Chains A and B, each alone.
Chain A
């Protein structure tokens, strides 16, 4: 009986946790579905100004086809390109690095890991000032490469750290076992090593991508108009006229950039958790 009681108690405790987590998400969706008049008038909404009585898609058409299109659509592309390129560069470099750390014995191994950890604690804004000056001299200010380079600061140390932890858990003896069984080194790599390493590399890529996707410090300070990413663009939205607030458009844009990421989380929840906590807690 006692266990049954605990079971229901825990199920009950999970309800407020899930509500606390979900309300801000549902709220931003609700706000994105409000028309301009509903945003200004409580009478048109229910549940204490929470949900609109009639759903309006105006905000979505505003950001994809209307007045905010020229700001949002390019920003979306910039975000995708910059984050993908930074993630790709980091994960490729980190894969070699982590493989060496996990499998080979060489001096300086620990120094690399400590450097990666130190760098991931850097106050990113401290890099903005020197880069702001340097990028103006090199004409990299407000360009995509001018963002990709600082984004590597965010993604590379993280990738090295997570991947080394992943690779250290791989049973590498299986590679030799395969070779003993007559596989060539190429076959051993393709059939044994790659399938073992791929999930770790993939998970690391997702986490690195999230980190770059989240950045606001670099993109709001190192871009002006031509290379803005979504978080910076959200901040520079203006209303249809100077007297209207851009609330609806910002929320619609926020929902658009949030959905794909939430889907990724839903699909790969277990792996992401493993990646985030790897290496941190086993000590």
Chain B
């Protein structure tokens, strides 16, 4: 019919062809790429993953190192630097909570969530994209610290497979931290509040641990906290897998010190199993009406 072109204006040649399929992997990757670009463009927000761990390695290795003796390696002057690395890895991985929490909190406050939610993207891909980007982000401090460690005299002295296992454990623990980060951001919702929690909760927790000193040197209740602290456990597990000093524990030490790898895995799984559903629920509530 010749009148059609008038009755139905120019829309025919641009009739939208809706892709009715759900493509969760594709959507997640697009959101993850966005997250990675964000990180590249605000290097100041990467300080906790770049500058800070390197600074900590150097500070502790050279400033405090000489004053701290490692049980079982009292005569080795380089022992503390090797001992230190497992601790700083553990501390930095724990700070992994904040990368994802800050990114999500920013999105809660700049309208990005509404934009994403009005798009036909697969359910959960925003969350998955953020998590993936932050899992990739976690590789930055791991690589930087490993290099700094090599410079100050640290080395993975375990078998090849133990070394692989150590790095795999780091990623698994990072994944658990990301879920805590999602939960935290969904509960407090603003970047300022996320940072507040950083200093009140997680920062001290990384010190009341075997990160920088052997737990045997801590007094009373702090010692008990440190012995059961999962961050200690990560540090100890990494020392064990890297075959670094500091893994010698007294026979009467509590179970986690004797089984740091198992204890770390239990914590990792527990955190994911408990936090993930809570985080997803809190997240959905916070983006909902």
Partners in one complex: no
Residues of A within 8 A of B (CB): none
